[in-house]
Structure 1
Amino acid sequence: MRVFKYSSWCFTVVGLLAGVVGATPAADKRQTSGLSPKVYNNLPLGQIKPTGWLQNQLNIQANGLAGNLNVFYPLITQGSWTGGTKNYSNLNEAGSYWYNGIVPLAYITDNSRLKTAVQSFLNHVLDTQWADGWLGNESNNQWQPRFLWGRYPFFFGAIMHVEADPSYTTRFVTAFHKFVALSNTMLKNKQGYGDWTQGTRWQDYAMALQWLYDNHPNGNEALLLDTMQRIKNVSTNWRDVFSASKFPTTAVTDMRIYWHGVNLAEGLKASAATYRFTHDASEKTDASSGWDRLYQYHGRPSGIFAADEHLAGLEAIRGTELCLVVVSSTKSSYLYQVFGEPKYAERAERQAYNSLPGTISGDMWSHQYLQQQNQVAVKNMNPNPFPSDGSYSNVFGLEPNYPCCTVNHPQGFPKFVANAFVASVDGKSLTQVYFGPLAVKTTLSGLGATVSVNVNTNYPFADDIKTTITTDKPFTFYIRVPTWINSQAKIQVGSAAATAFSPDILSADIKTESRPHGSIAIHRGTLNYALDIPRKSTLIKTTYSAEPRASDYQFDATGNWNYAIDPSTLTFNAPPSGTSLKSPIFDSGAPPLSISVTGCTVNWSLAGTTFTSSPPEKPACTGAKTKLTLIPYGATKLRISEFPVISG
């Protein structure tokens, strides 16, 4: 047995098996036919479980809005995917979005009620497959044409479903192959891709087809590869969109479909999906440069990028859609698995611990459509700072602005957990990708080793981690090393003396990030820190009387927010040893760690009646200097997270 103990970000290894930290397994040789292998394979759904506070977070979600949509919400209870007539668009994505998120939530939390719900959904879809292979209720002479896009989230959900419950494998694989044959014919006939998305999300289908090729090709390899190429040929050229000569460097005013935020989040993984069937190694370089370009010109300190429907630049009052957050996080995991570049995983972790909880209420019964980095009011905004979205977009509610995030947001936390560990393609090593309280039990196929990993930690709300690894055979264990580490960490092997470790691991310093107008953002480790503005909550409306917890709320500030800070006074306040975490953890006053800083009120006005103007550059104090407390961004619902710096 090995025990890794990271105490104040210090590793202790006990046992006889050699550990490898921070390295990357060698990838297989490049292929020229079939599919190029990924660097890592995901573990089947259910083999990774949350523990501690993260388990509590998933249970809050299962007992919150996500876990109850199938009880009261007409888009699910009367949805078109299960024989009803309710939908919010002809994309027919409401049911498949819901299924895609609830499958991992159900099996990761081992929630019998939700398992029954997703089993019923899958049974209905498979039982009602059309004779020609179509999955879903559309026929070309019915209420809408057949568009391929709405199937893609269903395939992702079903793939995870058969991983967690292999009894469905034969039925689903048979149905999927039948659908592939139909879709190939549709593509030859120029059908199936004329919907609103205009081919921007084709790579999701390629990913699903690649799972089928890798695991259950059934002699249809040529058809699967041909279908991947055909869907790509009639879809968005993401390489071109992300190119240096064409990518927008400021907020867009021309609302093109491929500059739409969620479509861009989908497009981030196009190079990875393409690389696997074209074997073009330059896709890796293009994926990396496109990624950097997006976050350079539109990135947020909370880890996400800005698009209040379309790319929104760097201003702190512009919005980011919740759908964008969950899609970006899960697709970042895929990029990491295909290419092995750590920056994709590091950003996914930042999103999971900052921008995702920052736009959902602590009890997970309400959410925003759009979040802002500097968010001083949550209400119907007049004037509206969002050019393409409604004035109701930043309200916390059931379906503010549009229902898509209501049914799509459930995938966020469960898929983060499901991708927290990966195996090498040769089945001989295991890699810890994300940090948090987790437990893994898996078999490494290349060694026949049965491995258990238990990570005991309050991370990211504490700096102590203890990891226990049990195995019946030697294997190699890798740990992704974050870029924000400092020189305080040491590694101890067995009972030997602790020694300095290079690269130094996981101990973090406070860092500032330059933002527009001379403002700064504050980070420590994976967490972005913000001023938590005290607020008053007012009920706006309850849409469905049968479920009053799913209501809409307005938040108004009850304290000052117009502060500038002195960054030289930033001080980290660690939680006392043995601190128990509050529940829910992502809410005001809950996180046990903070950063203090000296600040003062300054002349910083509202641009409208509900949102701030740009931070003033080097403002003078208008009030006495005071000590401010900053807390993790994800626990704030009204906030300032991009601060002006005090003059002088």
Structure 2
Amino acid sequence: MPNARGRARLTELPLGAIRPRGWLADQLRLQADGQTGRLEDVWPDVGPDSAWLGGDGEGWERGPYYLDGLIPLAYVLDDAELKARAQKWIEAILASQRDDGSFGPSGDDDWWPRMVALKVLTQYGDATGDDRVPPFLHRYFTFQARALPERPLHGWGRARGADNVLSVMWLYDRTGEEWLLDLGRLLAAQTHDWATFLTRDLPAGPAPAFRHLTHGVNVAMGLKTPAVGALVDGGEDAARRSAEQTRDMLANLMRLHGLVHGCFSGDEWLGGREPHHGVETCLVVELMFSLEQVVRILGDGSHADLLEQTAFNLLAASSDPRMLAHQYHQQANQVLVSFADRDWSFSGPDANVFGLEPHFGCCTANLHQGWPKFVRSLWMLGDDQTLAAVSYAPCQVDAEVAGHPVRLDVRTSYPFDEVVEIGVSTPVAREFALRLRIPGWCRDPSLTVAEEPMPVTPDEDGYVTVRRAWADGDVVRLRLPMRVRTVPRDNGAVGFRLGPLVLVHAIGEIWRPVPDHAGLAEWEIMPRTFWNLGACVDDPAGTNGIDSWPVERRPVGAVPFAADAAPVVVHGRGAPLRQWRMRANSAGPPPAGPVPTRAPVMELRLLPYGSARLRVAELPTVTVTPEPTDD
């Protein structure tokens, strides 16, 4: 929790200090060569006519949204071409500031899109040290402090005010000017009370009409509001209260709207617990950003568990394997990707297809932040001269600890493998600490440091701290055993997980290109194998049999989330359920189980959720009764 001055428990390293390696570098390269790197060439809304670039085109959120992902992608990859693409936007934004401190397109004075632009500028300032950024922010926040009492936050800005507060605190951390805290409090007071709504007033079931408080993306963004408020208020009491509120908000969301993969529904409004309800791609990336900030501020590793689960499953699944196109809404039980009307709260018939701009362009602009911000958040610096592992993935970390350079080389295929190896490079032996997160799902982890076994007893935040005088070449080896485990669902249905991976019944896929499409690619996907299988989780003796299901691991390919080369395959057991049918172009609700059947037992092939664009993640259970035989 933040200390008495309100500081966060962890501090982000400068943008670019963490570089992706291995499969994660391949994934970001696909993004750079696909939707992000080529978007300006195929989508006019972020093309040269954008009002944010001085043109007469779109001038609201889409330019800043795009830049909010382009900037971190350019700097974590150290990609000169992407940096050049981003720089022209930065120069245009900096040049747009007026004498009163306001900035951006003059035809729209909405607070909300400027909140995104502020996030862009703080990331750019972290990456480059450009000394134009702090005075620019100072002038704008002075303008806000004058204007907000008479023109308070409204609409989208009132729902998302915590994003504005984060940028105010970025400047406060660099200047210490107390009036910035007053501005932060004013912004917080004008922001929706998300803690009360999500803990006391949250309705169950699909939202019947638009409200900012039941809009799925707003909910994902609002989850960080109590933690951000603790930064402004300061003190242990504020921190403790915000930690409790955050846990309660997430628990209540999962109770009323939680889906089998661990996220809540939002298609476009909160949709309840049935697995045909969708999750918007904007919701996915904004939930990730909220969790990254909550972990940074509060230091609670349990929120990093959900961050990993969201990234490795829902984010990976939101685009095609080569990141040329994306869905607006994805489904946990997604057995058909097509132009069709579905039982969702608010969506057009194209919201389910992979394309340039399905249903609405917000996700086209906003999806880009997911992977690069995840890279930046893999490791953070602690106040007590520690480096803390927030999430595990292959990367290289360059940091200054106790005034001296340290490099960590994280070698792993996690989440597809159980072992994380960390090589330490330091010019001179120095004492500092590594804090290693032990996921809540993990039982019996093991740890060696320089080949010496170490005890693994996580603290209340879920971390094990290793403090020692590190020598150049020391190696940390952390093993996080993964076993197939079940996730109980309504009416006796079940889901499966392996470590942070959600496992799904993978359906054979027929990709059908859409003729005369816009953008880089567009597809519908048809099933070519049975989708309606139930899971046999008990052996004939009635004991749990999933521990005997073989887990096959393979090298991670250059396209990490392709179904035909999935790095993990679990060979389970299931049986067909012909009575389970489609309803309104989606898989119907799973039949209440266990369902008795005499159908033959067959292989239930389980892949990572992110590898399967056609999938069933929530399955009914079945009890197989053999056909009687004649004596």
* Same-fold status (TM-score > 0.5): yes
Letter in 2 for 1:131: D
Q: Matched residues in 1 for 2:3 and 2:260: separation?
A: 37
Partner of 2:91: 123
Residue 376 in 1 paired to residue 351 in 2? no
Q: Secondary structure at the match of 2:480?
A: coil
Q: Matched residues in 2 for 1:363 and 1:631: separation?
A: 18
Q: Matched residues in 1 for 2:61 and 2:370: separation?
A: 17
Q: For each residue in 1:213-255, what CA deviation from the matched residue of structure 2 results, as whole angstroms up to 9, or x when unmatched?
A: 00244xxx23312221222222311122122x31223333243
2:507–2:530 contact (8 Å) kept in structure 1: yes
2:206–2:345 contact (8 Å) kept in structure 1: no
Q: Percent identity?
A: 27
Q: 1:527 aligns with which of 493, 496, 501?
A: 501
Name the stretch that deviates more: 562-571 or 177-186.
562-571
Partner of 1:551: 521
Give 1:94 shift.
Answer: 0.3
Give 1:539 shift.
Answer: 2.0
1:604–1:615 contact (8 Å) kept in structure 2: no
1:461–1:591 contact (8 Å) kept in structure 2: no
Count of aligned pairs between the two proteins: 590
Letter in 1 for 2:606: L
Residue 83 in 1 paired to residue 54 in 2? yes
Give 1:520 shift.
Answer: 0.3
Q: For each residue in 1:265-314, what CA deviation from the matched residue of structure 2 results, as whole angstroms up to 9, or x when unmatched?
A: 11000001111112324222112211221122222232321111111111
Name the stretch that deviates more: 563-572 or 117-126.
563-572
Q: 2:601 aligns with which of 605, 625, 628?
A: 625
Give 1:622 shift.
Answer: 5.9
Q: Secondary structure at the match of 2:306?
A: helix
Equivalent residues in 2 for 1:192-591, closer than 5 Å: 193-194=153-154, 196-197=155-156, 199-217=158-176, 221-243=177-199, 245-279=200-234, 280-281=238-239, 282-382=241-341, 384-426=342-384, 428-444=385-401, 447-471=402-426, 472=428, 473-487=430-444, 489-496=445-452, 498=453, 501-502=456-457, 506-544=480-518, 547=519, 550-568=520-538, 569-570=545-546, 571-575=548-552, 579-591=554-566
Q: Matched residues in 1 for 2:454 and 2:362: separation?
A: 51
- CA gap of 1:542–1:160, structure 2 versus 1, over 3 A, is farther
Q: Secondary structure at the match of 1:620?
A: strand
Partner of 2:462: none
Q: Matched residues in 2 for 1:598 and 1:284: separation?
A: 41
Q: Secondary structure at the match of 1:199?
A: helix
Q: Matched residues in 1 for 2:75 and 2:607: separation?
A: 32
2:446–2:480 contact (8 Å) kept in structure 1: no
Q: For each residue in 1:386-444, what CA deviation from the matched residue of structure 2 results, as whole angstroms up to 9, or x when unmatched?
A: 12222221111111000000010000000001000011124x11101111101101102
Q: Matched residues in 1 for 2:550 and 2:103: separation?
A: 54
1:481–1:505 contact (8 Å) kept in structure 2: no
2:111–2:157 contact (8 Å) kept in structure 1: no
Partner of 1:17: none
Partner of 1:165: 128
Q: For each residue in 1:85-128, what CA deviation from the matched residue of structure 2 results, as whole angstroms up to 9, or x when unmatched?
A: 222xx7x1000001110001001111111100111110111112
Letter in 1 for 2:149: K
1:616–1:644 contact (8 Å) kept in structure 2: yes
Q: For each residue in 1:574-619, what CA deviation from the matched residue of structure 2 results, as whole angstroms up to 9, or x when unmatched?
A: 446xx53222111212222211111111134334352111101222
Q: Matched residues in 2 for 1:123 and 1:198: separation?
A: 25
Q: Matched residues in 1 for 2:128 and 2:196: separation?
A: 40
2:419–2:480 contact (8 Å) kept in structure 1: no
Partner of 1:18: none
Q: Matched residues in 1 for 2:260 and 2:516: separation?
A: 33
1:303–1:355 contact (8 Å) kept in structure 2: no
- CA gap of 1:341–1:500, structure 2 versus 1, over 3 A, is closer
Letter in 2 for 1:352: A
Give 1:499 shift.
Answer: 6.9
Give 1:532 shift.
Answer: 1.4
- CA gap of 1:604–1:425, structure 2 versus 1, over 3 A, is farther
Residue 95 in 1 paired to residue 88 in 2? no
Q: Unpaired segments of 5 or more residues in structure 2? A: 459-477, 539-544, 625-631
Letter in 2 for 1:214: D
Letter in 2 for 1:438: C
Letter in 1 for 2:61: E
- CA gap of 1:494–1:247, structure 2 versus 1, over 3 A, is same
Partner of 2:73: 105
Q: Secondary structure at the match of 1:102?
A: helix
Q: Matched residues in 2 for 1:486 and 1:442: separation?
A: 31
Name the stretch that deviates more: 468-477 or 330-339.
468-477
1:238–1:270 contact (8 Å) kept in structure 2: yes
Give 1:29 shift.
Answer: 4.1
TM-score normalised by L of structure 1: 0.88
2:532–2:581 contact (8 Å) kept in structure 1: no
- CA gap of 1:359–1:495, structure 2 versus 1, over 3 A, is closer
2:501–2:609 contact (8 Å) kept in structure 1: yes
Partner of 1:56: 26
- CA gap of 1:605–1:490, structure 2 versus 1, over 3 A, is closer
1:356–1:634 contact (8 Å) kept in structure 2: yes
Partner of 1:183: 144
Partner of 1:152: 115
1:603–1:619 contact (8 Å) kept in structure 2: no
Q: For each residue in 1:311-354, what CA deviation from the matched residue of structure 2 results, as whole angstroms up to 9, or x when unmatched?
A: 11110000000000000011101001111111111100110100
Partner of 2:588: 613
2:419–2:479 contact (8 Å) kept in structure 1: no
TM-score normalised by L of structure 2: 0.90
Give 1:559 shift.
Answer: 1.3
Q: Secondary structure at the match of 1:356?
A: helix
Q: Matched residues in 1 for 2:450 and 2:536: separation?
A: 44
Q: For each residue in 1:8-51, what CA deviation from the matched residue of structure 2 results, as whole angstroms up to 9, or x when unmatched?
A: xxxxxxxxxxxxxxxxxxx66423xxxx0101001110000110
Give 1:636 shift.
Answer: 0.6
- CA gap of 1:171–1:604, structure 2 versus 1, over 3 A, is farther
Name the stretch that deviates more: 265-274 or 566-575.
566-575
Higher relative contact order (CA 8 A, sep 6+): 1
Q: Secondary structure at the match of 2:132?
A: helix
Q: Matched residues in 1 for 2:487 and 2:579: separation?
A: 20
Partner of 2:613: 637
Give 1:500 shift.
Answer: 6.6
Partner of 1:174: 135
Equivalent residues in 2 for 1:27-38, closer than 5 Å: 29-31=3-5, 36-38=6-8
1:353–1:526 contact (8 Å) kept in structure 2: yes
2:30–2:322 contact (8 Å) kept in structure 1: yes
